[in-house]
Amino acid sequence: MGYKNLLVQLDTTKACAGRVTAALDLAQRFDAHLVGLYVSPEPIMPVFMEAHLSEELRESQQRARQQRAERVITAFEEAARLASARFESRHVTAALDDFPEVLALHGRYSDLVILGQHDPEDDEALPASLVEETLLGLGRPAILVPYIGAPEGFGRQIMLAWDGGREAAHAASEAIPLMRQAELVRVLCVNPKRGIGGHGDTPGADIALALARHGINVEAQHAVSEDLEVAEVLLSRAADYGTDLIVLGAYAHSRLRDIILGGVTRTLLRHMTVPLLMAH
**What 8-state DSSP symbol labels residue 127?**
P
**Amino acid letter, residue 157:** Q
Q: Where are the beta strands (DSSP E) in the chain?
A: 5-10, 33-42, 86-95, 112-116, 142-145, 157-161, 184-190, 218-223, 245-249, 276-279
**What is the rounded CA–CA span in Å between residue 65 and residue 226?**
50
**What is the rounded CA–CA span in Å between residue 94 and residue 241?**
41
Give the residues across from 86 on adjacent strands: 33
Please name which of 99, 74, 100 lies closest in space to residue 87, comparing C-alpha atoms: 74
Please name which of 24, 39, 43, 48 lies closest in space to residue 105, comparing C-alpha atoms: 39
Is 5 within 8 Å of 32 (Cβ atoms)? yes
Identify the pLDDT of residue 259. 46
Please name which of 109, 144, 103 lies closest in space to residue 279, comparing C-alpha atoms: 144
Domains with residue ranges and CATH for the chain:
5-145 (3.40.50.620), 157-279 (3.40.50.620)
Taking the whole predicted model, whether its pTM rises above 0.85 is answered as yes
Please name which of 103, 106, 97, 118 lies closest in space to residue 43, comparing C-alpha atoms: 97
Identify the pLDDT of residue 59. 66
Please name which of 64, 65, 90, 68 lies closest in space to residue 77, comparing C-alpha atoms: 90
**What is the rounded CA–CA span in Å between residue 191 and residue 62?**
53
**What is the rounded CA–CA span in Å between residue 249 and residue 164?**
10
Identify the pLDDT of residue 52. 59
**What is the rounded CA–CA span in Å between residue 62 and residue 4?**
35
**What is the rounded CA–CA span in Å between residue 64 and residue 203?**
55
Mean pLDDT by 10 residues, the chain (280 residues): 94 96 98 97 58 62 82 97 97 91 96 96 89 91 96 97 92 97 96 72 89 97 88 94 95 51 79 94
User: Edge-to-edge strands of the sheet including 276-279?
Assistant: 86-95, 33-42, 5-10, 112-116, 142-145, 276-279, 245-249, 157-161, 184-190, 218-223
Strand 276-279 with 142-145, pairing: antiparallel
